[in-house]
Amino acid sequence: MIKRLLTSIVAVLAVTSACMAQNADPELEFVLELKVKLGQAFGVGQTVHGNRFVIPITGGTFEGPRIKGEVLNGGADYQLQNMDKGRTDLEAIYCIRTDDGVSIHVRNTGIIAGNYFYCTPKFEAPLDSKYAWLNNAIYVCKPGGFMDGGIALKVWKVRDAFNFESTIQPIMPIPDAVRKPAARQGKIEEFKYTAHKNGKTIQKHARVYLPYGYKAKDKKTKYDVLYLMHGGGDKTTSFLTPPQDWLPLCNILDNLIAEGKMRPIIVVTPTFYDDDENIGANRMEDATAQTRNFHVELQNDLIPAVENAYNTYLEGKDSIAVTKSRDHRAYGGFSMGALSTWYQLAYGVNAVKHFLPLSGDIWYFDEKGQKQEPKAAAEWMNEQLAKTPFANDFEVYAYTGTDDVAGNPEKATIEALHKYAPLFRYATSDANLRFSMKQGGQHFYGHINEYLYYALPLIYKK
Ligand code: FER
């Protein structure tokens, strides 16, 4: 008795753990439609089980997205008809054969009660065949129509519904130690360059983080470069060296590199404004246009200037050289900088391989200047990428927080990319789009820099 009790507890636990792994609701996936030819039915009469009725199955065809073939002669539908109770129980047993010669046994049981006519077929396919996938699933079936001397039956497989919410990766608190200055620190330099913007030549600057141990003279040691764009109203220092109550990115970088969690890299923090001290009218339209156009300056001015000044993989100054070294380049940004990241992906995927949109959605407008729904933005993004030779060669690492103004907009963007932009592979083993949300994460650098603690080791594996 006790032993049986223990056994059943173990069984319950096994069932519970299997259930916990899949908290999604079920949905149906169409598998095939059968067109079954029926022979002359005959009644056996009243038996101990009820009124037994036999309908021979004499042939037919079947077809679905992954399988097709013929229904074999020799099966039958064995029915128990209880007309007085308004109920018929049926059990059809027969075989089908695929067009490439695999025989599959079918046993389809169901009920007819008034208008309600549903069955649950079971398939027995040879384990060593390419149809073995039919074996381990629950199916439902209902008539798709009645022909003279036959019946059409549609079959669906019951599977877990895709639950977008459950695919969002959570973000754990980062270790306290990585917030503090590391023993071995990189250097932050000011970098001046000439940009060509709206037909004008302007002098601009960016900040450059050089990892600990970077030696200008050691030309053989080359570094990948990450460009990080600030948010609206911010400047070139906002990421790396914010006021003390924010989490400075230089501490994260120094500590990740010192702990061996990522390769040493160069980080460049430019501005999409004319310069730090000239943020213009700082109206939203200005910022939107400047984030949209920054890819031109990045490719023509900033990348050639900064990557020829430091030891990087860029060899040359033109766009061909920039494209050749794109595997070694990442672009990310916060808020309006995230917007510039999406625009960089849409307009400048030739120059960059890795993208880090941090708390920002895609702003896609129609001719009247109306911001479009995430679906239209996702379709536009897919079209943009499809035009390039890099449609299958980019990676997106998207992050935001639940208490961030960009949280829900970015979440809607990711879900739309998953649904409507086939070039993005999301929640698959070969994903090129990843999405994480920090519970309570807000719209400020302190939280954004936490996201980079997780993102950078993914891009810059040792
Ligand atoms: C967003 C929500 C807010 C976003 C940007 C902002 C690009 C804010 C911008 C600003 O105030 O500068 O989804 O995406």
Q: What is residue 21's predicted lDDT score, i.e. its pLDDT?
A: 41
C-alpha 191/C-alpha 252 separation (Å) is 21
Bridge partners for 384 per DSSP: none
User: How remote is the CA of residue 407 from the centroid of ligand 1, in Å?
Assistant: 10
Please give all residues whose beta carbon lies within 6 A of any atom in ligand 1, as ranges.
231-232, 335-336, 338-339, 360-361, 405-406, 409-410
The atom number, within ligand 1, closest to the CA of 233 reads 12
Q: Give the predicted TM-score (pTM) of the model.
A: 0.76
Q: For residue 65, how far is its CA from the centre of ligand 1 (angstroms)?
A: 43
Atom number, ligand 1, closest to the C-alpha of residue 284: 12
> In this model, does residue 15 exceed pLDDT 90?
no
Judge whether residue 208 has pLDDT over 70: yes
Please report the pLDDT score of residue 275 as a whole number.
79
266-301 pLDDT, tens digit each: 999 999 998 766 665 556 668 899 999 999 999 999
**pLDDT at 1 (0 to 100):** 46
The per-residue pLDDT for range 66-111, each reduced to its tens digit, is 999 999 999 999 999 998 999 999 999 999 999 999 999 999 999 9
Residue 416: pLDDT over 90: yes
Give, using CA atoms, the residue closest to atom 6 of ligand 1: 335
Taking the C-alpha atoms of residue 350 and residue 328, their distance in angstroms, rounded to an integer, is 12
- Give distance in angstroms: CA of 68 to centre of ligand 1: 51
Point out the ligand 1 atom lying closest to the alpha carbon of residue 410.
13
Q: Measure CA of the first residue to CA of the last residue in the chain; give whole Å.
A: 56
CA 271/CA 276 separation, integer angstroms: 7
- The rounded Å distance from CA 406 to ligand 1 centre is 6
Q: Is the pLDDT of residue 254 over 70?
A: yes
Q: State which ligand 1 atom lies nearest to the alpha carbon of 336.
A: 7
- Number of Cβ within 10 Å of residue 422's Cβ equals 12
